[in-house]
Amino acid sequence: HQPLPDCPYYYPVVLAFPIPTGPPRPGFATMDEEDGTACTTPLLEDPEVEAESQQPPRMGLLPPSMSNLDSITRKEEAAAFQSHFTLRIPTSTVHFRGNILRIIDTEQEQIILQQKIPTDDDGGMDSKKAKVVVKRLSPGTYGYRMLRVGYALIAILFMGFLFVVCFQILLFLFAALPVEAGYSSSQSSVSGLAIVSTLLSIPLMIYGMSSLMSLCSAFVVDAFHGGALFRSTIVEVMYMMVFLVIPMTTFAVALMAGHAESWRLTSGVWGILVLILFCVWGLAVTYREVYSCFWLVEKHYFQGCDVQLLTSPSSGANLSWREKMRHLMKIAKKALLLTQTSRYAGIWRERYQVTASSDAGLLNMDPVEQRKSIYSWISRISVFTDKLKFFKVLEVPKRVYGPSEVRDIIPFVTRDNWSMQRLWCAGDTRLHSVVVARGPSRLTLDQIKLSSWVSLASTLLATLLAFGGLVWSGGGVTVSIIVAVLAVFCCIWPLIGNNRRMLDMYEGVRSDTNQSDDDERGANTIYQVWKTVRVTEPTEYYCYFRVAVEIIFLFLWPFVSMCVANNTPVAIIFVFLASFTFLWRYFDSMVVLSLLGTIEDVGDETTTHEDKYRLSEVVGRVINNKGRRIWTWIFAIFFLLILFMFTSAEDLSTDVITPDERAATRPPILMLDDFEYPGSGGLQYPTCTLSQPGFTFPTSGETESRGTYFLDYAFLSAMAYESSAITNYTLDTWFGPNVMKDEVDFVGKWREDSGTFLSPVQFKLFSLTNHPGFAVVSIRGSETMWDWIQNLQLWSAAGLSQMVKWIIPYGWIFNPILPDFIQAVNLIESKKISEVSYYKVTTRFVNEVTAGYSNEYGGGNFGNLKVTGASLGGGLAIITGAQTSAYTVAISGPGATLSRRVYDPPITTDALNTQVFNFIPERDYIARLGGRADLFQNAQCLAPKNDLFGCHSMWRSVCELNYKCGSNGRPVFCRCVESFGYPEPTALGNRTFAQACQDASTAWFEMFPQK
């Protein structure tokens, strides 16, 4: 800013809103750079106004005379205030008590500029002593603030659930591949064409979903501000109706009607209304973005055209709709070329740390950093410029403006508004602030040094936290050292250099003895800025070529592949995301503005303040929302994780691993029958013995005559992982000789007859030899990568929804509709994907066996089946048991309460609450996924606190039950002491525990030698 010449009045003003940059115009109030004081031209220059000012001012609440009103009006015109478009609404003028009041409304408070002209000794107005008093007040009440917070919380919850939907889309996109491969048929590999088609759909999917999430984050901010972006009476009413009136009315009516699930009905209506509001808001933002792009292009690139449909609608009044469409297509073509040119241009960036004086302009303009992208060098190669004609080298680099320059905003840091906490949380914004180095409002040397230390300390603290987290989680010394070295060279050392240069510049400005700190007009500031220029631009031919490639290979090919594969739900979502992605990508108003300058400069007399404000908000909060980059990284990481899991499990023929094939790699099961655990000295678990009918084993010829040890179920769930040779030995050791039998041949024959032999799910059937008709189905947990994909397929929606509910305050208000939401999310899943779920195989097995299935290996009389399993096996056991009415005991199994309506057939809460029992150790996060039913046992866990998943251990649960409940005649396990830290059991013989375990190990490897 250059100072106004001969400006005699300086009024102390502290403004809580951005001040327009650029040279001040005569008669405009401007902000002086060094100390924030306002300099304004005299208000009483008109002789008529001067004469009228001699009249004594009227005091009190009575209105002034008409002559005074006329005087006030002319004073107002002389002041000529201008509202910057960063203000949500333009300033308002109020005549009150003979004074002019300027009302400036920000998002949270109100600023009042009151112009006062005191009287002289003769009773006239003394213009030389005129002053402007600035007042600040918060017009809102606590109730008003709480209402806005409520709006924002509901919108944040909606954003969290939207993220769940996006993750499920990525998951089901890849889950469709094994279905095409013949998940349970003889085909053993996935089609390469299907993989390519899926990978080609990923760029549009990730870009579209990240754009959707960044749009939703802007919606959250707008909801907190009460719909400020499109503020009008209708919008105010709409937000009140959606967020408050309709939900509360629904709740009240449901209560009066005696509805059994009043809050479920209310929260469902609430969620649907917010979804509709977000869709309408997103469409409005998209329309504003595309319209602004077209308007800018027409105004600045079609000036010589007789027809101006957007900038001058009356010029096209006599045109037919075809002529109008032809004109709009020309605008779209130009906008497309501009955006593609910007996207594929080669750019150079230079960073300057600048000292600027209000009198001397810019100094020290040598760049401190230059970045010349590899792409810019490639685009200058003669092959691409001369032969292929892809690019053209610009003789004079073309200046490109950034978002902050386009929006014409920059923060100032003075001695009075400097805050260490604000700097700590400022992020990149502190790098673009103007620091006052000389003048009454200059920062002190201690503040400059502390600013440098704050930025350095935040980086060091983040590095220290990352290092500490790696050490705590057992990441290893090597990984920790690598992270520390990267942090030093990539973050800390460059930051030290940047701070050093800033400090040198400050000291250089301070060393200028020609300027005085008392001179209010001799301010110096320090700031840094990035200058971006284009050195190459793509040719028109290349721009159209890239558009064709993107449409054909990134849209049409994946879409056709999805339709051919009958993956209809994902295909519909893909078209929706692609459509909006193309609109935002090809008609970007920010690209046009980056070539033209600031939003203030591109407007005309027909451009309203609201139009500029909305364009500024769309450019700043939506188009250039940093959240889009963050969401892109999040979805890219999820994509790489799912891709890794898929590629690791791609070869079905080798990934369907049976327990016999896994036997050689599993640790030995060392059991000692001459030691015992008498039971914990404290209170035992009340479920150590299961006595409720339905959960017990038959004994001594009397069906369910006594309770059954919980430990027996835990042991059988572990046996699902072992080969038949091992289970024959362990069952005889645990239960006694010939008490329990592994029906491996019977199960194998059933899988062959049912065509499920290649399905990766593995389970065993253990029968009691002395009690025909009784058996236990034990389902194996996660062993292969396909098993982990199944975990995600069955419980990711429920787990992510629970995380959203736990993280966001008051997330519990949507508890009643979580099952409905998860059911809606799983509509994305195609029918083919759901048909290959693991539980379909286990449920079919239980139903057919209890119905009388038999083969040459037995069967036909297994009418009393129990189901058990651990981890994934426990979750599948819960689903299977609830679907088949078979009593189930799960160990650390994910629940099915939230997802009960997703399964086929659906599960009732009554079945889950009466026939399913789950053992859940503390800090077992996986077992808490999906929601708990009524029957469960919380248990202690001795795993170290830094072992995040140590409590989700099948064998640790077996040892916990063995130790707490007592061995009760069963053997004890060596691994309980050696691997899990339990006390040594009591010896019943003369051997020491160490010697007994050594003897058991020797005997084990003699029976089962390692290959």
pLDDT tens readout for residues 744-763: 999 999 999 998 887 889 99
Position 38 scores a pLDDT of 34
More confident residue, 905 or 522: 905
Q: What is the mean pLDDT of residues 716-742?
A: 92
Amino acid at position 490, single letter: C
Percentage of the residues of the chain whose pLDDT score is greater than 70:
80
CA atoms of 987 and 947, how far apart (whole Å): 31
Question: Over 80: is that where the pLDDT of 830 sits?
Answer: no
Range ranked top by mean pLDDT from 135-144, 825-834, 858-867, 987-996: 987-996
Distances (CA, A) of 636 to 170, 640, 642: 10, 6, 10
The mean per-residue pLDDT over the stretch 395-423 comes to 81
pLDDT for the residue 993: 94
pLDDT number for residue 860:
77
**Strand 346-357 vs strand 763-768: parallel, antiparallel, or unpaired?**
unpaired
Neighbours of 666 (CB within 10 A): 14
Tell me, rounded to whole angstroms, the distance of Cα 687 from its chain centroid. 41
Q: Average pLDDT in the 324-342 region?
A: 93
Q: What is the mean pLDDT of the chain?
A: 80
Which pLDDT score is estimated for 25?
35
Q: How confident is the model at residue 785 (pLDDT cuts 50, 70, 90)?
A: confident
The percent of the chain in helix, strand and coil, each rounded to the nearest 5, is: 50, 15, 35
Are 129 and 8 contacting, i.e. CB atoms less than 8 angstroms apart? no
Q: Tell me which of 991 and 1010 has the higher pLDDT.
A: 991
Per-residue confidence band for 63, with pLDDT thresholds at 50, 70 and 90: very low
| DSSP-assigned states of every residue in 343-400 | HT-EEEEEEEEEEEETTTEEE----SEEEE-HHHHHTTSHIIIIIS--EEEEEEEEEE
Instruction: Give the separation between CA 605 and CA 619, rounded to whole angstroms.
Output: 21
Residue 732 has pLDDT above 80, yes or no: yes
68 CB contacts (<8 Å, ≥6 apart)? 52, 55, 57, 58, 98
Neighbour count for residue 254 (Cβ, 10 Å)? 18
Inform me whether the pLDDT recorded for 356 exceeds 70.
no
CA distance 302 to 118: 54
Res 251 pLDDT > 90: yes
Contact 40, 9 (CB under 8 A): yes
pLDDT at 57: 37
Give the model's confidence band at 870: pLDDT under 50 very low, under 70 low, under 90 confident, else very high.
very high
The pLDDT of residue 592 is above 80: yes
Alpha helices (runs of H) in 41-128, residue ranges in sequence order: 47-52, 66-79
**Residue 332: per-residue pLDDT:** 94
* DSSP codes, 30-54: EE-TTT-EEE---S--SHHHHHHTT
Whether 406 has a pLDDT exceeding 90, the answer reads no
Question: What is the rounded average pLDDT of the residues 47-58?
Answer: 37
Going 72 to 77 to 83 to 88, the CA torsion angle's sign is: positive
User: Shortest CA distance to 163 belongs to which of 804, 814, 792?
Assistant: 804
Most confident of 33-37, 129-133, 396-400: 396-400
pLDDT of residue 744: 92
Is the pLDDT score of 55 beyond 70? no
Instruction: Tell me whether residue 446 is exposed, middle or buried, using C-beta atoms within 10 angstroms of its C-beta: 0 to 12, 13 to 18, 19 or more.
Output: exposed
The pLDDT of 558-564, averaged and rounded, is: 88
When pLDDT is averaged across residues 884-890 and rounded to a whole number, the result is: 95
pLDDT at 185: 45
Residue 488 is given by DSSP the state I
> What's the pTM?
0.81
